[in-house]
Every structure is written in C-alpha cells, then in structure tokens.
Structure 1
Amino acid sequence: MWRRILNPVIISRVHLTLISRSPFTMQLKTTEFQSLFSDGLNSIAEIFEKHKFELRIAGGAVRDLLSGKRPEDVDFATTATPEEMKSMFQNAGIRMINNKGEKHGTITARIHNENFEVTTLRVDVQTDGRHAEVEFTTDWQKDAERRDLTINSMFLGLDGTIYDYFQGYEDLKNRKVRFVGSPKQRIQEDYLRILRYFRFYGRVTVSAGQHDPATLEAIRENASGLAAISGERIWVELKKMVVANHAAHLLELMYKLGLPQYIGLPVEGDVEEMRRVWQYVKDHSPKPMTVMSALFRSSEDVEKLDLRLKISREEKNLGLFLVKHRGQLLKSQDDPDSLKPYTDFIIDSRELDAQSKVCELLKYQGEEKLLAEMSRWSLPRFPVSGHDLRRMGITSGKEIGTVLQNLRDLWKKDRYQMDKDELLNHVNKS
C-alpha cells in the first residue's frame, strides 16, 4: 500500500520548523477520503460547525489517506473541551459512551450506529515516560508537537485541507520516518515510541539501514526506559513489526542497540537463525511468533517472553511447538518430500489448531512445496467410533481404546483411505 503514488492537488506549500506558526497545506480529493462521509459524520460535523468549534481528522488516519488507503480507524481532534463536547452532544440528543478517556480529553459519541472518538487538542504538562499529564489547548501546532512521528502529526479538515506542521507529507513521499523535533525528547515522553519508530520504519521505508544516526543514538541512550512499559503495550508493537518489511534488519538492530533485555527477548538471541528464517517466511504471511521463535534457543526463552509480555496461550503454545519441532524433526527420513509425517502428527495430536501450527513449522523450515500441499489438505475424519465397537460386542473401555488405536494406525498407514466397513472387517478377523 505504501508504494502507491501520492498525488493530491497542492494548494499551497510552506516549509516549517518547530517554531513556525504556518503549516504546509494542501487539498485532498480522493475516493478514500470521500468514502468516510456518512450520515453519522455529517451530523457530528454539523454540530461542531454550529457551535463554531473546529473538527479535524487526526494522526494515523491522515497518513493512511495520503497513502491511498481507507483507514480502518478514524480519530478526530477538536478545539472544543470535553465539557463543551458533552454539552453539545447532550443538547443534540446524542449518546456518549466509554467515558474512560475523558480525563485525557476524549469523548466518544455514538450516532447512526457509529462511534466517533473526538479528542480535545492537548499539550503535555508533565510526562514520566509512560503517562502524561495534559492541558487542553486550541493551538493545533502545539498538539502536533506532542505526537511521535512526523507522518503521524498531520491533521485533515473535513473540507479536505491537510495541515502539516512538521513536513510529515514530505517524509511520507520520501518513505522516511522521523520523530517530531528532538528524538530524545519524544522518546522520553513515552519510551514505547522506540518500538513505534521501528514498526513504522518497517511499514513505510523502502530500504533497510537508512536511519538517522542521532535517532539511533537517542534510542540506545534511552533503551532502559522500556523496562517500565507494560508487556501488553510492547507486544502490540512487536507483533506488527516482526511481520512487516525489514523485520530481520530491525530485530538485529534492536540487539545492537541493547533493547532485548528490557522487552522480554532473549539477551543471547539467535540472530543468525532469525535472519535465515526470515528469508523463508517473509513471503508467506508468518505469524509473529513464527519469526520470534527463531531467536529462541530453548523453551525457557518462550517462558521468559510470556512472563514479560503476557502473550496469549495460543502464541505461547506455538512458540513452544516451533522450538521443539524445528530442525525437521517431523520430516520423513525415507521420503523427505512427503507430507504424511505432518498429516499423521496433526491427526494424532487431535488439537484444533494442530494444522495451523504445522503450517507455521513448514514456513519456518522453508518447506514451500509441503506448505502448498498442506494448505490444500483437509483433515479427514476417522470413520470408526467407540459406539461402533460396542455394537460389535466389545464392552471393555480399555479394550475399546486399544482397538481404536490399532484401527487408527491401520487407517493412517493406508493414507486415510479405508472406510468404516473395511476397518471393522479387521476387527472381525482379529
């Protein structure tokens, strides 16, 4: 999506610095932008216009629209305070939900079965690297100054006017990722921005290794700040980064900058294995844990990651599975191109996600041919049940279990082709 040509109609252009008061502006007229307008948005816009408050689309949605993509989530910014918004919405009979963000200036209005999250312009009064005390403002540039990256600091008026205070559009066209102003200051306001930098680098840039040395030095100097960031927030960023472009380069760079010990990655991670595996998986939509597992040298590394990041049970189980079975342990020694050892494993495991795990293992091992076969393979149903054996007069539970296992082995040996009658005939013969 980032390779699409950015070609809106430019009205005016003014380059600026942090102390500039005049933004670069341009007019956006695209189908993606027009598609955002609904009965709900039109109603919200009318309310703000009636009360003479400005309302603009903010942050990532602007970045996506300039990249030719319709954003999945649209956040709005306004000059109205939370109290003023509540008064406007109440008078208009609009329901408000999820008031947890109100102290940070966010009000969520629900109209025409849509939610609209609107946040008052803010400046950071005090930060501790995780949270910020904010003060409301009507100055759009001051709000832009507190955002992390230039490409995320733009606003879009509902008339299509882009307001760009820090050359975010220029950086987006040039596939460049920069912090707004001082990298050190932006990072110290919220240390998670270190990982956001890496994530957006993988999402936006064309080539690996084109980092500003001052930015990397700021990351190195402030890496320890990530120790205080919650594991859940770190994992959200890591999961997106490790399946995007340049993932191997970025993970290796994170090791060089001393980040792993603060974010749950093994300090002595197997970077060489990770680079090798990335070449296998990058074109096959790997799950994040498939890439991460290449760094792990043992199951203990998976446990430590889980302890720090609180990953899901499914993610943890996949990591343990890959660490245990990588190295082609399931591969047939007699026929290395056979899918059967993998299908037998799936059938024997009787886990709902066994086939998904095996697919990730095949990606990890670079088995493209077997992966293609596995994607076409459907789990066959074993045709015999304990009820069938009881009707044949076998009543012992232990004996039923033994017979079923013998029949299952026979069925697997025949490549799952034998039907119920053929299998039950073997019971009669025995």
Structure 2
Amino acid sequence: MNTPKSRDNPVIMKLESPEFRSLFTKELECLINLFKKYNYEIRIAGGAVRDLLMGIQPKDLDFATTATPIEMKKIFETENIRMINANGEKHGTITPRINDKENFEVTTLRIDVTTDGRHAEVIFTTDWLLDALRRDLTINSMFLGVDGSVYDYFFGYEDLKKRRIAFVGSAAKRIQEDYLRILRYFRFYGRISDKSDNHEEITLQTIKDNAAGLSRISGERIWTELKKILEGNYAGDLLLKIIECDLSEYIGLPHNANVEELKRIWKQSGHMKLNAITLLSALLNNKEDAVNLNARLKLSVFERDLAIFLTEHREFELHPKPLLPYQQIIVKSKTKPLVVKQYVLELLKYNNSPHMALMETWEIPNFPVNGTMLKEKGIDNGKRMGLILQELKNIWADSKFKLSTEELLSKVPIILEKFPQKKK
C-alpha cells in the first residue's frame, strides 16, 4: 500500500524538460493567465505528467483546478470565451476553446462520495491530495504546476522509476470504485513495466478476489481497455495472466480457453504485430466461442467476422501450392474479396506463414462472368442469378481460375437444374 506523503511537502522536483516547455502555446498561456487573474490554481493532471516524467511528449493534456464548474463558467463567460462539450459539466469538466483555436479540458478537484463499481457521485473540493487519492494508479496520481513543480502525494515518481504498477492506497478500494481498473492495471503494466512478469502477488490476488465486478462493466468499455492491452507490450503474457486471475468469464472468453494455442501463437509471433482480435482468437475453440465473445464485447463487424474466420480456418492442411486454398477462399466468399483478403493475411500472420508477402502482392483475379451475360441466357431473377453466379464462382475457383467465360457459361444449364425457376 502506498501511504500518502506529507501534504506540506508534496513537491518532489522542478521539471524543465524540452517536452514540458513545448506545451506552452499562446493558447495555454492565455488559459493559465485567466486562472491567475481570478485567483484559482490550475495544474496539469494524470497521464500527461507521467509521460513528461518519462521524457515522452503527451498526446493529450488534462487540467485540474480549484475552481468549481460554476466559477469556471463565470470566468469564461466574462471573458467571452466559448465553451464546448456541455455534457462534461456534471462531472466537473469545462472545456473552453481559447482563441477559437485550442480546446482544454479543465476539471474541478473531486472526492468520490458513493460508487457502484461503474459510476461515482462526486463532490468538489480544493484539496489536491484528496483528488489524488481518488485516482487509480500511483503513476497517474501526480500533478504538474505551470511552473514545472511536480506534486506527488503517493510516491508515483518512485514507482515510475522502478517501472512498478501499484494502486493508490488500498487496491481493493480503488478497484471497487470502478472495476474497469482491473484492466487498466494490465494496460499500464504493458506500457510501463520493463519485465513481462514482475507483478506483485498481493495485487494479483486482489484482482482475482474482485474479478466478478467486471460483470457490471459494459462490453464496449471492456473491449476498449482489452484492445489496448493486446496492442501493447507483453500482450500474450498479460492475456495469460488475465486468465490466471479468473477474468475469462467476465470478459467474454470461454471457461475452457485454449491456453496452449495462445502460448503457441504468442511464442511464434516474434516481431510480428498481430491484430488484437487475432491474438484473442487463439483462446477461442470454435465459432460459438467467437459469437459469444462478440455478444459480450460488442466487437466491430470486421473484428467479429475475423474472429469467426480464424476459428474456422486456422487448421489448414498442407497443399502443394500453399496459397491456392486461401486464394480460393477469397474468391468463393460471399463477403467482399478485399475484406476476406485481410482476414487471410491475419490468418497467415497467426500461423507465422512464410507466404505473407506473396499474399499481400497477389491481385484478386477478375471473375469473367457477370449478370448481363446471364440475362442473355434468360436468367433475370435477382436472387436466382446471385445463386448461379456464386456457383459459377465456386467452379472457377476450383479450376484454379483457369476456366474461360465460354467454359463457365457452358456450365449454366447444369446449374439451372439445381436452381429451377419458381412457377408464378
């Protein structure tokens, strides 16, 4: 547990890095001067502080202030500054647009009064330590003054130097405030840690004890975090640790997740960057598992269909022409060929195939028959024509794309027997 440092001396250092100095645009200077003018303190908060201390240019800046939302609105209205995103006000966030050029999210210091594991009822405060206490991880609980002063109440900088991921105060309490923090722990472990398996057992046990809380979290929020884990460092190792912590059933994975397959895929992936859903699919046993995963996580159509595709095609027999079976799958598919080609490329990555480069450069051949040709043969029913075209496409693919237009059209009478014209 990280006990708080003295509130009388939370400043641990003065930051003067080029990354810090580059933040000060004319718009940010204007924002800072406004808060000074009205005697309210403003500091950079959370992840941006962590990134700056690591020498990383932050992508986003979040600010915290002692001013309440009402007080901020009064400032900006008085100064004729436009505010956007009114929905943030109930959470204490006001977003001014300075010089009609740059937006800044500024949030009032808060204390969580009640939480249900997903949402919190808050009250506003002017106490920086109390706001730091409600944050998830020590490395995310620091503030940075506009003069470069780093305010660290829970030894976040020391944890950052050790590449240690620890919850602020009581891990159980932080998790129970928002169960999504379980996955945030693993995400930041992948970002910060310099070892693939250097977790503290007490933290993992606390996560395991609170695993069921993830059932309260929406699939969309879970997938947002899980996807970042799978796209980060140690993705396979962290996924195995997630399973060891009994999280599978709460995040859409089967209870009998295919752990050995994941280990195999992760070991052989080497330098390759697998799509998040590709790596996750290694744990699925069949199409039903993929359908259940989608039901829980609300995947995109591409992600859902890729998961199904991988579970259906990952075990392929050896072929004298290794790419031909995949090329036939692409052409025969009822889905757009270019989309299916993407599925095949992920499948080849999944199996660490040496033929990926050849597949990437392979151009999908043009099918030599079209609807106009079939109309000339008296086939004008849309649905029936679609069935016949698909049948011809299958025949063409099986011929290794060699049959000509004439040869394919000669097959139409035989195919018509399979799809007779319905009597009106």
Q: Distance in 1 between matches of 2:38 and 2:32?
A: 10
Query: Aligned residue for 1:365?
Result: 351
SS in 1 for 2:103: strand
CA displacement at 1:58 relative to structure 2: 1.0
1:102 and 2:89 aligned: yes
Q: Residues 328 and 397 of structure 2 are in contact (CA less than 8 Å); yes or no, is this contact kept in structure 1? A: no
SS in 1 for 2:210: helix
Q: 1:23-38 counterparts in 2 under 5 A? A: 23-38=10-25
Q: 1:227-306 counterparts in 2 under 5 A? A: 227-281=215-269, 283-306=271-294
Q: Residues 286 and 360 of structure 1 are in contact (CA less than 8 Å); yes or no, is this contact kept in structure 2? A: yes
Unaligned 5+ runs, structure 1? 1-15
Q: Residues 332 and 394 of structure 2 are in contact (CA less than 8 Å); yes or no, is this contact kept in structure 1? A: no
Q: Distance in 1 between matches of 2:222 and 2:279?
A: 16
Structure 1 vs Structure 2 CA RMSD: 2.8
SS in 1 for 2:355: helix
TM-score normalised according to structure 2 size: 0.86
Amino acid at match of 1:358: V
Match of 1:353 among 311, 322, 339: 339
1:176 and 2:164 aligned: yes
CA displacement at 1:345 relative to structure 2: 2.1
Query: Aligned residue for 1:206?
Result: 194
CA distance 1:427–1:138, shift in 2 (3 Å): closer
Unaligned 5+ runs, structure 2? 412-424
Q: Residues 106 and 118 of structure 1 are in contact (CA less than 8 Å); yes or no, is this contact kept in structure 2? A: yes
Query: Aligned residue for 1:63?
Result: 50
Q: Residues 270 and 297 of structure 1 are in contact (CA less than 8 Å); yes or no, is this contact kept in structure 2? A: yes
CA displacement at 1:85 relative to structure 2: 0.5
CA distance 1:94–1:426, shift in 2 (3 Å): same
CA distance 1:137–1:209, shift in 2 (3 Å): same
Q: 1:6-405 counterparts in 2 under 5 A? A: 17-18=3-4, 20-21=6-7, 22-111=9-98, 112-281=100-269, 283-328=271-316, 333-335=319-321, 338-349=322-333, 350-351=335-336, 352-367=338-353, 369-382=354-367, 385-387=370-372, 394=377, 396-397=379-380
Count of matched residue positions in the alignment of Structure 1 and Structure 2:
403
CA displacement at 1:402 relative to structure 2: 5.8
Q: Distance in 2 between matches of 1:74 and 1:400?
A: 53
CA displacement at 1:204 relative to structure 2: 1.3
Q: Residues 332 and 341 of structure 1 are in contact (CA less than 8 Å); yes or no, is this contact kept in structure 2? A: no
CA displacement at 1:31 relative to structure 2: 3.3
Q: Residues 57 and 77 of structure 1 are in contact (CA less than 8 Å); yes or no, is this contact kept in structure 2? A: yes
CA displacement at 1:177 relative to structure 2: 0.7
Query: Comparing 186-195 with 404-413, which one deviates more in the overlay?
Result: 404-413
TM-superposition CA deviations, 1:332-356 (whole Å, max 9, x none): 5223xx3232233223325141111
Q: Distance in 1 between matches of 2:314 and 2:397?
A: 27
Q: Residues 280 and 363 of structure 1 are in contact (CA less than 8 Å); yes or no, is this contact kept in structure 2? A: no
Q: Distance in 2 between matches of 1:30 and 1:127?
A: 38
CA distance 1:405–1:225, shift in 2 (3 Å): closer
Q: Distance in 2 between matches of 1:404 and 1:253?
A: 45
Query: Aligned residue for 1:10?
Result: none
CA distance 1:210–1:347, shift in 2 (3 Å): same
Q: Residues 214 and 251 of structure 2 are in contact (CA less than 8 Å); yes or no, is this contact kept in structure 1? A: yes
Q: Residues 95 and 103 of structure 2 are in contact (CA less than 8 Å); yes or no, is this contact kept in structure 1? A: yes
Query: Comparing 292-301 with 240-249, which one deviates more in the overlay?
Result: 240-249
CA distance 1:65–1:44, shift in 2 (3 Å): same
Q: Residues 12 and 149 of structure 2 are in contact (CA less than 8 Å); yes or no, is this contact kept in structure 1? A: yes
TM-score normalised according to structure 1 size: 0.85
TM-superposition CA deviations, 1:45-75 (whole Å, max 9, x none): 2211211211111111222222232222221
Q: Distance in 1 between matches of 2:17 and 2:144?
A: 13
Q: Distance in 2 between matches of 1:115 and 1:228?
A: 33
TM-superposition CA deviations, 1:15-70 (whole Å, max 9, x none): x9415212242232333333333333222222112112111111112222222322
Amino acid at match of 1:339: L
Q: Residues 180 and 186 of structure 1 are in contact (CA less than 8 Å); yes or no, is this contact kept in structure 2? A: yes
Q: Residues 386 and 404 of structure 1 are in contact (CA less than 8 Å); yes or no, is this contact kept in structure 2? A: no
Q: Percent identity at matched positions?
A: 50
Q: Distance in 2 between matches of 1:388 and 1:104?
A: 63
Query: Comparing 25-34 with 163-172, which one deviates more in the overlay?
Result: 25-34
Q: Distance in 2 between matches of 1:192 and 1:386?
A: 52
Amino acid at match of 2:164: K
Q: Residues 27 and 102 of structure 2 are in contact (CA less than 8 Å); yes or no, is this contact kept in structure 1? A: yes
Query: Comparing 372-381 with 274-283, which one deviates more in the overlay?
Result: 372-381
